[in-house]
């Protein structure tokens, strides 16, 4: 499974990238707002850090304006992936941009039929939102399962990018189902390494080693 980090905070991206954990980055207007930075400036800085795709989202809702904004975003760096909403205009833009050789990420997916349309439009990535579905009482992971089944049925190459990840179990279950990518907040990505038995075992090893009175270096 590929790991993308869902943030526009440069310090967090650098830290995770230096660990070799990142395959890409996703941003959105809310994350840009949180960063307090200019979208072109912060996105360029992210692209200079990470080799993989960096999703930058259009703010427009109409096709012609989406295409204008996509042209601006695409010029920022070669690894830009244009993020588009799952609407008819968004799918139209997806088809046009994919045909021109751009990577695309169709976002705000909440149904398997939406994901099917995105694949037919040639999306590089489809972003189903697990956590937001869970908030409404619907099993978000079931959506990942349905999309995986449909894509495998017809050989679609669109990658399933599990989004709106809230927990470590979301990551584990998405991996078991067969999501291609998880985009994860920095804190959740770091939490994947944690386990109380690991901490307990390490404490015991340290205590026992101290009793030997030895030094390795």
Contact 123, 98 (CB under 8 A): yes
Measured CA to CA in angstroms, residue 154 lies from 101, 127, 150, 158 at distances of: 22, 19, 7, 11
Q: Where are the alpha helices (DSSP H) in 19-109?
A: 29-35, 39-49, 63-74, 88-99
Catalytic residue chosen out of the listed positions 11, 14, 44, 83: 83
CB neighbour list of residue 79: distance below 8 Å, 6 or more residues apart: 47, 50, 51, 52, 53, 54
Query: Is 83 annotated in the active site?
Result: yes
Question: What secondary structure letter does DSSP report for 163?
Answer: B
Q: Give me the active site residues, please.
A: 83
């Amino acid at each position: 499974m590929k790991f993308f980090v869902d943030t526009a905070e440069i310090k967090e991206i650098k830290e995770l990238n230096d660990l070799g954990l990142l395959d890409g980055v996703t941003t959105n207007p809310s994350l840009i707002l949180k960063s307090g930075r200019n979208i072109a400036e912060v996105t360029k800085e992210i692209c200079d850090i990470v080799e993989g795709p960096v999703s930058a989202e259009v703010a427009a809702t109409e096709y012609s304006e989406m295409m204008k904004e996509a042209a601006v975003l695409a010029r920022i760096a070669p690894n830009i992936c244009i993020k588009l909403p799952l609407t008819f205009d968004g799918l139209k833009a997806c088809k046009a941009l994919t045909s021109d050789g751009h990577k695309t990420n169709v976002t705000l997916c909440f149904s398997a039929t939406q994901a099917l349309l995105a694949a037919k439009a040639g999306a590089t990535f489809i972003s189903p939102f697990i956590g937001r579905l869970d908030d409404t009482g619907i099993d978000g992971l079931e959506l990942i399962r349905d999309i995986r089944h449909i894509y495998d049925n017809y050989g679609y190459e669109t990658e399933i990018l599990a989004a709106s990840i809230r927990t470590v179990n979301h990551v584990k279950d998405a991996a078991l189902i067969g999501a291609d990518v998880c985009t994860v907040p920095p804190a959740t990505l770091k939490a994947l390494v944690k386990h109380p038995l690991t901490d307990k075992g390490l404490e015991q090893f340290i205590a026992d080693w101290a009793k030997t009175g030895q030094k390795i270096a």
